[in-house]
């Protein structure tokens, strides 16, 4: 097989959570361009329909549900499988963040964040992995963050969840690898997404970014796409249990 053919996703079916905009949408577009039918998910049906319309070739559809509702996630996976007869790729991309001092969080707020950022990914991966196991093929991908291996004052809960995802990714790599299912993660750094519009325009944050990121710029959302396609395709078929960092070198700069 020619090397470029190994990036083809023709005939594959993918689910990308949090794909109405930002990094999720860019990853979904990459998978669709490579030939996959991509199911975009999020809480806003209107945003998802606009996102689906932005993907050329009609290789996308929408499934609106809140990943924090574990029953809704299980039903969405079951419906996708029933509609398409397979599920080859799951990208767990949803992540909620609340930057506040640790003591400011109530128990309920902590649990809500962990439910959205970690437990939802565990539940979706469990349901998807069993389908992939029966197929003898699958790609489980979780979007973590470089903050999972770092620390910053006033941002305690998000790194906890992201480090938990790293543990999940590696555990699933060991458990499902024998069945042809790989499990990997993408750890983004500082990207200029819609969610980060405020901080990416803040002069203090721009100065911080230029000091910490060797490339001295924000990541462009489309620059996450190649990592997702590599891990989702046969080009990355022997990569398992790996966290692929996409941060312009931020995490290696002292």
Question: CA-CA distances (angstroms) from residue 240 to 62, 70, 138, 243, 252?
Answer: 29, 26, 11, 9, 22
CA angle, 143 then 37 then 9, to 5° = 75
Residues 68 and 115: their CA atoms lie apart, in Å, by 6
**DSSP classification of residue 191:** B
Place of tokens 């903050």: 147
Catalytic residue among 7, 65, 158, 176: 158
Alpha helices per DSSP H over 34-95: 45-53, 70-84
Q: What's the token pair of residue 143?
A: 């979007």
Work out whether the CA dihedral 40, 44, 45, 51 comes out positive or negative: negative
Q: Please indicate whether residue 176 is annotated as part of the active site.
A: no
Residues 140 and 181: their CA atoms lie apart, in Å, by 7
Asked if 34 contacts 27 with a C-beta cutoff of 8 angstroms, the reply is: no
Catalytic residues: 158
């Amino acid at each position: 097989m020619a090397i470029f053919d190994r990036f083809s996703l023709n005939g594959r079916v993918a689910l990308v959570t949090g794909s109405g905009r930002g990094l999720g949408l860019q990853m979904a577009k990459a998978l669709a361009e490579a030939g996959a039918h991509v199911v975009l998910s999020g809480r806003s049906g209107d945003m998802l329909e606009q996102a689906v319309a932005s993907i050329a070739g009609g290789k996308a559809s929408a499934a609106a549900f809140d990943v924090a509702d574990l029953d809704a996630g299980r039903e969405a996976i079951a419906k996708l499988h029933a509609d398409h007869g397979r599920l080859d790729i799951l990208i767990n991309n949803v992540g909620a963040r609340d930057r506040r001092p640790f003591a400011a969080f109530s128990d309920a707020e902590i649990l809500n964040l962990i439910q959205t950022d970690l437990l939802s990914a565990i539940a979706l991966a469990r349901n998807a992995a069993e389908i992939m196991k029966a197929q003898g093929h699958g790609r489980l991908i979780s979007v973590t963050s470089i903050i999972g291996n770092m620390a910053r004052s006033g941002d305690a809960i998000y790194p906890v969840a992201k480090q938990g995802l790293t543990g999940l990714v590696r555990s699933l790599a060991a458990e499902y690898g024998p069945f042809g299912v790989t499990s990997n993660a993408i750890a983004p750094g500082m990207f200029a997404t819609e969610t980060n519009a405020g901080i990416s325009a803040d002069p203090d944050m721009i100065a911080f970014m230029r000091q910490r990121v060797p490339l001295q710029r924000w990541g462009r959302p489309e620059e996450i796409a190649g990592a997702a396609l590599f891990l989702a395709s046969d080009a990355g078929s022997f990569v398992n249990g790996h966290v692929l960092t996409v941060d312009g070198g931020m995490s290696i700069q002292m």
